[in-house]
Amino acid sequence: MSIYVKPIITEKYAAKGDAAAKNNAGKSRYAFVVEKTANKVEIKKAIEKAYGVTVEEVNTMNYIGKLKMKYTQTKIMTGLVKKAKKAVVTLKKGDSIDFYGNI
């Protein structure tokens, strides 16, 4: 089973990754959804192996599941948002990850 599930490709994290990669001025940061049981060392090794980059720092965040309600014409529907763990990875200066290269 893989440690990381998928990359988070949003405007916020795309800007953090692209701005540093374009001008080599700073370190680029990328976000991934990872397994809930994974620790920082395992995440670092998995990202380095998968993308061939040098990871300097890993920050993790646990998101709890929240109860959501939707009001419809017939009834009130309830559901639960999934629990997730997110990791923000800081790469060595000059390294970058190209998510769109395989398309």
pLDDT at 19: 60
Nearest alpha-carbon partner for 29 in 42, 13, 43: 13
pLDDT tens for the chain, 103 residues: list them.
Answer: 588 788 888 888 777 766 665 655 678 888 999 999 999 999 999 999 988 999 999 999 998 989 999 999 999 999 998 899 999 999 888 888 877 776 6
What is the Cβ-side half-sphere exposure of residue 3, based on CA atoms within 13 angstroms?
Answer: 14
pLDDT at 25: 60
For domain 4-91, give the CATH number. Answer: 3.30.70.330
Where do the domains of the chain lie?
4-91
Q: Which residues contact 6 (CB under 8 A, 6 or more apart)?
A: 32, 33
Q: Which amino acid is at 72?
A: T
What is the Cβ-side half-sphere exposure of residue 101, based on CA atoms within 13 angstroms?
Answer: 5
User: Which residue, chain included where needed, has tokens 């965040």?
Assistant: 61
Helix/strand/coil for 83: coil
